[in-house]
Amino acid sequence: MKLSLKYKIAVAVASMTTILVSYASAKDETVIMRGAISDSQCAYNVHSDSHSHEWMIKKGVYGANDDKSCTLKCVKEMGGRYVLVGPKEVYRLDDQTLPEKFAGDKVKVTGTLDPKTHTLHVQKIEEDK
């Protein structure tokens, strides 16, 4: 049986649509990530050599006395952005308002993850004990 070109194209389009819908569904799954709310300056070693606030605190940088104050200083005064530092990865946070009250704290973030940009689209942040 010979298949028409239109039929072949229709099957190809239907297959691609199924693949794209499956990818979109997987991408939009809610995830829960645990880590600490930090700043991009320290987490990406802009001002630090250990992915932490240790360097700035040890150097006695004014206003960086602990994890919370260092995070707030780096975001508000040094161009940083709030990030979630997990055990092995650093995730960008699309919401830059909600994380402020958790600066320097261990948290549980609920949201969706864009794996290409390593960005968490935040739905909820809560303290993680």
In a domain? residue 123? yes
Q: Check: CB of residue 120 under 8 Å from CB of residue 112.
A: yes
In a domain? residue 63? yes
How many domains does the chain fold into? 1
Question: What pLDDT does residue 22 have?
Answer: 39
Neighbours of 113 (CB within 10 A): 18
CA–CA–CA angle 23, 43, 114 (5° rounding): 10
In a domain? residue 7? no
81 contacts: CB under 8 Å, gap ≥ 6: 39, 40, 75, 92, 93, 96
In a domain? residue 10? no
- Structural domain span for residue 59: 30-127
Question: What pLDDT does residue 72 have?
Answer: 94
Question: What pLDDT does residue 112 have?
Answer: 97
Question: What pLDDT does residue 9 have?
Answer: 54
In a domain? residue 18? no
In a domain? residue 13? no
In a domain? residue 64? yes
In a domain? residue 19? no
Question: 0.95 exceeded by the pTM?
Answer: no
User: 26-80 pLDDT, tens per residue?
Assistant: 557 999 999 999 999 888 877 666 666 777 777 777 777 788 998 999 899 989 9
